[in-house]
């Protein structure tokens, strides 16, 4: 019950952080689009487009976080927790697609660079750094030791914007100092590269959950060896470790114990061990006694005279 209460409290804090971050991003996005058009800056337009995906990502994350709080019922025996993983995967896909579009446009502007108003770009970039620093700090959540993959997706969107604005500010300074307008397109390529890296991380992490791989940091072989080494355990097989959703690891296994041992007591001991040592609280163990040695079958053969 304490674990469930802590988990629910963490999800509530995440939803609150997502709402505040969404408000910040929407307000700044409108401001940035206007200035980007006036300044003819692709770096700012690409950032503004990314800000739009940030807003969409945050909104999807909010919906997913709300769905994840619904209790298990009917055919959804695990609830809707994996809605958060779907959200993270959607964030990864949008980052991937958007980075491709930015790369195409940046290459075009490298060939034929437009005139970029460096002063306006610099002002917006500096404001963007401040806004994204605030949003990233909110989503990082100092009170939450570990973010869900859902919030991690939105956090990476915001972090990518932060790095992007730093690159845009540098490009603006170069344009002001030297008049080298191609710096704007080069900054856009840098932003796209960061987005590709973030997309890869999100798609890989969410893909692992959907493929029911063992959670990062948990080695099924090690868990199996620890279980098999416990007094009374003869054999451990059919061991499966997976992640239902962020922060919800699960384990199942077939355990064979010595004949005559209290299998129910040993099962409880193993479940406590797995939770305390590996942090897996949802454990299903099928426990059976080993087959007792049977005396050889004796067949009497009578002989007829």
Q: By mean pLDDT, which of 47-51, 52-56, 116-120 is the weakest?
A: 47-51
Q: Are strands 233-245 and 248-257 parallel, antiparallel or unpaired?
A: antiparallel
Look at residue 6 in the predicted model and tell me its pLDDT. 47
Averaged pLDDT, 147-172: 81
Instruction: Provide the β-strand partners of residue 236.
Output: 255
Run of H or E residues at 62: helix 42-68
Q: By mean pLDDT, which of 145-149, 249-253, 289-293 is the weakest?
A: 145-149
Q: 151, 11 in Cβ contact below 8 A?
A: no
> Both ends of the chain: CA-CA distance in Å?
78
pLDDT reading at 68 higher than 90: no
Averaged pLDDT, 9-36: 80
Q: 36, 48 in Cβ contact below 8 A?
A: yes
Counting other chains too, the contacts that 279-283 makes at CB distance below 8 Å and 24 or more residues apart are 279/218, 279/249, 280/218, 280/223, 280/241, 280/249, 280/250, 280/251, 281/3, 281/249, 282/244, 282/248, 282/249, 282/250, 282/251, 283/250, 283/251, 283/252
Look at residue 29 in the predicted model and tell me its pLDDT. 84
Percent of the chain clearing pLDDT 70 (strictly above): 87
Spatial distance between the Cα atoms of 209 and 211, rounded to a whole number of angstroms: 5
Averaged pLDDT, 75-88: 78
Full-model pTM: 0.71
> pLDDT-derived band of residue 3, with 50, 70 and 90 as boundaries?
very low
Query: What domains can you pick out in the chain, each with its CATH number?
Result: 2-210 (1.20.1510.10), 220-289 (3.30.70.1350)
* 203-259 per-position pLDDT tens digit: 998 888 888 889 888 999 999 999 999 999 999 999 999 988 877 899 999 999 998
pLDDT reading at 30 higher than 90: no
Mean pLDDT for all residues in the chain: 81
CA-CA distances (angstroms) from residue 157 to 2, 6, 163, 264, 281?
A: 32, 26, 10, 48, 31
Look at residue 127 in the predicted model and tell me its pLDDT. 87
* 87-107 per-position pLDDT tens digit: 888 888 888 888 888 888 888
> pLDDT-derived band of residue 43, with 50, 70 and 90 as boundaries?
low
> pLDDT-derived band of residue 181, with 50, 70 and 90 as boundaries?
confident
pLDDT reading at 7 higher than 70: no
- Quickly count helices (H) and strands (E) in the chain: 8, 3
> pLDDT-derived band of residue 300, with 50, 70 and 90 as boundaries?
low
Look at residue 298 in the predicted model and tell me its pLDDT. 55
Residues, the chain: 305
Averaged pLDDT, 143-155: 69
Q: 109, 182 in Cβ contact below 8 A?
A: yes
Averaged pLDDT, 62-76: 76
Q: By mean pLDDT, which of 16-20, 143-147, 249-253 is the weakest?
A: 143-147
> pLDDT-derived band of residue 146, with 50, 70 and 90 as boundaries?
low
Tokens of 61: 């994350």
Tokens of 138: 């909110």
- DSSP state at residue 260: T
Percent of the chain clearing pLDDT 90 (strictly above): 18
Spatial distance between the Cα atoms of 66 and 296, rounded to a whole number of angstroms: 63
* 268-283 per-position pLDDT tens digit: 999 999 999 999 988 9
Describe the chain by its helix, strand, coil percentages, rounded to 5: 65, 10, 25
């Amino acid at each position: 019950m304490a674990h469930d209460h802590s988990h629910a409290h963490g999800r509530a804090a995440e939803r609150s952080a997502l709402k505040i971050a969404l408000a910040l991003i929407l307000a700044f996005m409108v401001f940035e689009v206007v200035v980007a058009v006036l300044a003819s800056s692709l770096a700012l337009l690409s950032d503004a487009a990314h800000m739009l995906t940030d807003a969409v990502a945050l909104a999807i994350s909010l919906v997913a976080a709300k769905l994840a709080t619904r209790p298990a019922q009917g055919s959804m025996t695990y609830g809707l927790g994996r809605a958060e993983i779907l959200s993270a995967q959607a964030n990864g896909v949008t980052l991937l697609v958007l980075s491709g579009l930015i790369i195409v446009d940046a290459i075009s502007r490298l060939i034929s660079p437009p005139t970029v108003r460096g002063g306006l770009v610099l002002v917006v970039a500096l404001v963007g750094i401040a806004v994204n620093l605030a949003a990233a700090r909110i989503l990082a959540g100092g009170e939450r030791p570990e973010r869900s993959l859902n919030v991690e997706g939105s956090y990476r969107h915001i972090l990518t914007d932060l790095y992007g604005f730093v690159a845009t500010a540098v490009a603006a300074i170069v344009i002001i100092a030297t008049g080298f307008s191609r710096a704007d397109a080069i900054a856009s390529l840098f932003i796209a590269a960061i987005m590709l890296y973030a997309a890869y991380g999100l798609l890989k992490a969410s893909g692992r959950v959907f493929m029911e791989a063992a959670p990062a940091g948990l080695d099924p072989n090690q868990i199996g060896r620890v279980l098999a080494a416990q007094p009374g355990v003869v054999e451990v097989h059919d061991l499966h470790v997976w992640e239902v959703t962020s922060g919800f690891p699960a384990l199942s296994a077939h355990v064979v114990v010595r004949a005559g041992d209290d299998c129910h007591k040993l099962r409880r001991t193993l479940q406590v061990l797995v939770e305390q040592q590996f942090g897996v609280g949802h454990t299903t163990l099928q426990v059976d006694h080993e087959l007792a040695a049977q005396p050889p079958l004796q067949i009497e053969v009578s002989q007829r005279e």
